[in-house]
Amino acid sequence: MNKNNYNQLLLINKIMCVVSYLFLIALIFMITIPWLCPQSEIGKFLLSLQDFSAVMDRTHNNINDFMLSITPISRILGLIGSMFASLPLLLATIIMIKISGNYKKYQVFDIKNAILYSRLGYVYLVGALLLLPLYEIFFYAAVTINNPHGQRFIAFSIGIENITAVFFAIALVTIGQVMKLGYKISEEQQLTI
């Protein structure tokens, strides 16, 4: 790789690293702020980013009334739901920071990166098949926990978001496997005289 290409890689890597750290901080705020300050406009906005409004539409007429009457147990259940919803993104961001660190060391087509890309795919696969339904269960529990007996419920769904996430997860696992194979082929070629 010539010096110009390497400099471009370093520039892209720096941008990716800064964006990943900013994204990690934003995710942590997105998870915690709505449940620490549920009555605030920023709390309601951050919950809307987590698709909480879809849960509210099915259970309550007005999100403002719910947020004013939220109990500590509802906050805890909601926080757990938010953590399940955001866990794949948190883990993916951490993986991207590790990949960025490898790029900085000029380890681009490396076995470590191949493994990290595969892990990224597995994170999204588990997220689509397990964590997204769990987040819905906890959100529904948070919203209906204070309802009278017989009006409390939990629910989850599997929709196009889950199927899309499974598709991209499989694509990432495949890319990781191809990178591993490419690395092995490269090693064999270096050993061949």
What pLDDT, in 10s, does the model give residues 73-100? 888 988 898 898 889 999 999 999 999 8
Residue 155 has pLDDT above 90, yes or no: no
How far is Cα 109 from Cα 123, in angstroms, rounded to an integer? 21
Give CA–CA dist 127/50, Å, rounded. 14
Contact 85, 172 (CB under 8 A): no
pLDDT at 48 exceeding the cut of 80: no
Query: In angstroms, rounded to a whole number, what is the distance separating the alpha carbons of residues 89 and 165?
Result: 12
pLDDT in the model for residue 60 = 63
Q: Are 81 and 132 in contact (CB under 8 A)?
A: no
Per-residue confidence band for 147, with pLDDT thresholds at 50, 70 and 90: confident
Q: What's the average model confidence in pLDDT over 24-43?
A: 88
Look up residue 167 and give its two tokens.
């598709």
pLDDT at 61: 64
Out of 13-22, 64-73, 92-101, which region has the weakest mean confidence (pLDDT)?
64-73
Parent domain of 148: 3-190
* Residues near 14 by beta carbon (within 8 Å), at least 6 away in sequence: none
Evaluate the CA torsion angle 15, 21, 24, 25 in order and state its sign.
negative
Give the number of domains in the chain: 1
Looking at residue 130, the DSSP 8-state letter turns out to be: I
